[in-house]
Amino acid sequence: MSVASVASRRYTTKAFDASKKITQDKIDELKALLRLAPSSVNSQPWHFVLAASEEGKGRVAKAAAGNFAYNEAKISKASHVLVLCARTDMTEAHLQAVLEQEQADGRFRSEESKATQHVVRTSYVNLHRFTQKDLQHWMEKQVYLALGTLLLGAASLGLDATPMEGIDFGVLDSELGLREQGFTSVVVVSLGYHSDEDFNAALPKSRLTEEVVFTTI
Q: Any idea which residues carry the catalytic annotation?
A: 14, 74, 165
β-bridge mates for residue 194, sequence order: 16
Query: 156: Cβ–Cβ under 8 A, 6 or more apart, which residues?
Result: 1, 3, 6
3-state helix, strand, coil in the chain (%, to 5): 55, 15, 30
* β pairing state of 80-87 and 183-192: antiparallel
β-bridge mates for residue 162, sequence order: 190
How far, in Å, CA of 145 to CA of 125, rounded? 17
